[in-house]
């Protein structure tokens, strides 16, 4: 074979290689990210990283999943509970109990509230907060001082919009001379008045209410029927198309930043809602330990950083995701769903 590439490899590129194949070709989203200046990358604090070690795969592959916890002002009560549970070693020995295709992977105590349990539920540690439904959203927040004010773009960031004094309601309701229908379409969202990025996270909102949104890889808190909001002892992550109808109905506490494939490729459960049935209990993947990176010896701490959503590169990256002009594409879309603009996160080399 003389050709040097899989032709299809070029075609479905989520992130193209860092080196441009053609000097004249517009950069792909991945190329833009690779060229971002160091100052636009934000280090994730070790107390915001959760290292979850699963039992090795059947073929012996080690499986580690790293989760970034959400920053203030979002979901901090549940995030605090998760730190308490991790420090108590409570998560050690629980299992993945549910894998529902195109929906979620969920882990927790397999004996909790399970009529077919073969043992007693594990007692929770003391000191967990009971959170209310009102805390699924925050009434307002001040954009970080680092926000760059910018004009409305094809893919706008929320803090940019707020900082620029944009009246979201007016924008959505009526065209103004400077607000084209293309710009309004780019902001449209079926689940919230608008959806955009701030502080490295995808956020939905309207006038005085803001909330994190359920994109692929986001991590949330299992709960029972309302007004129960869950403690943080049972967690799930999204493994399919964004289930945005869960926004404001469950607490989101973070996202998987490495090792997602160890969860998303697990065998699906054959019980209702993807739970593993008693007969297939051997499919439950054991979780050996969950630790905050800040509680690990310094030599073992993983380090990660995300591309600032307030920087110039993120704006260009989001625009390029919305309008693919790299050589494979024929028709740029003219917009992108907020969950189709994943915030770039990368491991920092030791």
Show contacts with a copy of itself in window 63-122 (CB under 8 A): 98-104, 106, 108, 111, 113-115, 117, 121
Residue of 31, 48, 234, 258 interacting with a copy of itself (CB under 8 A): 234
Task: Find tokens 């995030």 and name the residue.
Answer: 79
Residue of 228, 312, 347, 348 interacting with a copy of itself (CB under 8 A): 228
Is 294 a binding residue for a copy of itself by CB under 8 A? The answer is: no
Q: Is the bond preceding 227 in cis, omega lying within 30 degrees of 0?
A: yes
Both tokens assigned to 144: 């970080």
DSSP string, 255-299: EEEE-HHHHHTSPPP-SGGGBPPGGGGGGSPBEEEEEEGGGS-GG
Cα distance between residue 198 and residue 289, in whole Å? 31
Residue of 129, 150, 268, 346 interacting with a copy of itself (CB under 8 A): 268
- Residues 119-148 within binding reach of a copy of itself (CB under 8 A): 121, 133, 136
Q: Give the number of other Cβ atoms within 10 Å of residue 69's Cβ.
A: 24
| Closer residue to a copy of itself, CB minimum distance, 107 or 147 | 107
Is 225 a binding residue for a copy of itself by CB under 8 A? The answer is: yes
Cα distance between residue 313 and residue 327, in whole Å? 20
Shortest Cβ 92–a copy of itself spacing (Å): 20
Residue of 171, 219, 242, 315 interacting with a copy of itself (CB under 8 A): 242
Shortest Cβ 297–a copy of itself spacing (Å): 28
Q: Which stretch binds a copy of itself (CB under 8 A): 37-45, 66-74, 168-176, 298-306?
A: 168-176
Q: Give the number of other Cβ atoms within 10 Å of residue 112's Cβ.
A: 16
State whether residue 66 is helix, strand or coil: strand
φ/ψ (deg, to 5) at 79: -60, -40
Contact of 30 with 317, CB cutoff 8 Å? no
Strand 218-221's sheet: what is its strand order?
A: 95-100, 104-108, 235-238, 218-221, 252-258, 63-69, 49-54, 287-292
Residues binding a copy of itself: number (CB under 8 A): 94
- Residues 187-216 within binding reach of a copy of itself (CB under 8 A): 188-191, 193, 215-216
| Closer residue to a copy of itself, CB minimum distance, 74 or 103 | 103
Distance of CA 70 to the CA centre of its chain: 9
- Residues 305-334 within binding reach of a copy of itself (CB under 8 A): 321-322, 324, 327-334
State whether residue 246 is helix, strand or coil: helix
Residue of 257, 339, 343, 345 interacting with a copy of itself (CB under 8 A): 339
Shortest Cβ 347–a copy of itself spacing (Å): 15
Is 181 a binding residue for a copy of itself by CB under 8 A? The answer is: yes
């Amino acid at each position: 074979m003389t050709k040097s590439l899989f032709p299809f490899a070029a075609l479905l590129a989520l992130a193209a290689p860092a080196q441009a194949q053609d000097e004249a070709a517009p950069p792909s989203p991945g190329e833009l990210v690779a060229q971002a200046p160091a100052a636009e990358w934000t280090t994730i604090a070790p107390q915001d990283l959760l290292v979850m070690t699963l039992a090795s795969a059947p073929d012996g592959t080690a499986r580690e999943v790293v989760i970034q916890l959400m920053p203030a002002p979002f979901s901090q009560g549940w995030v605090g509970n998760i730190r308490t549970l991790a420090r108590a070693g409570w998560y050690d020995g629980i299992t993945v109990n549910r894998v529902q295709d195109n929906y979620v992977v969920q882990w927790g105590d397999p004996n909790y509230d399970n009529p077919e349990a073969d043992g007693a539920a594990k007692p929770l540690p003391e000191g967990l907060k009971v959170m209310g439904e009102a805390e699924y959203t925050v009434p307002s927040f001040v954009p970080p001082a680092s926000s760059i004010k910018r004009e409305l773009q094809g893919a706008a960031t929320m803090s940019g919009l707020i900082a620029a004094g944009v009246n979201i309601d007016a924008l959505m309701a009526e065209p103004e001379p400077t607000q084209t229908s293309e710009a309004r379409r780019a902001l449209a969202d079926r689940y919230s008045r608008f959806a955009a990025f701030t502080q490295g996270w995808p956020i939905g909102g309207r006038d005085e209410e803001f909330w994190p949104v359920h994109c692929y890889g986001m991590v949330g808190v299992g709960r029972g029927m309302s007004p129960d909001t869950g403690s943080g002892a049972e967690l799930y992550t999204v493994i399919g198309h964004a289930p945005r109808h869960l926004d404001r109905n469950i607490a989101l506490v973070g996202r998987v930043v490495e090792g997602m494939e160890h969860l998303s490729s697990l065998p699906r459960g054959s019980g209702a809602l993807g739970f593993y049935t008693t007969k297939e209990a051997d499919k439950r993947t054991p979780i050996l330990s969950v630790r905050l990176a800040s509680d690990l010896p310094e030599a073992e701490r993983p380090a990660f950083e995300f591309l600032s959503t307030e920087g110039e590169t993120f704006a260009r990256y989001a625009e390029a995701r919305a309008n693919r002009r790299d050589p494979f594409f024929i028709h740029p879309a003219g917009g992108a769903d907020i969950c189709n603009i994943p915030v770039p996160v990368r491991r920092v080399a030791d």
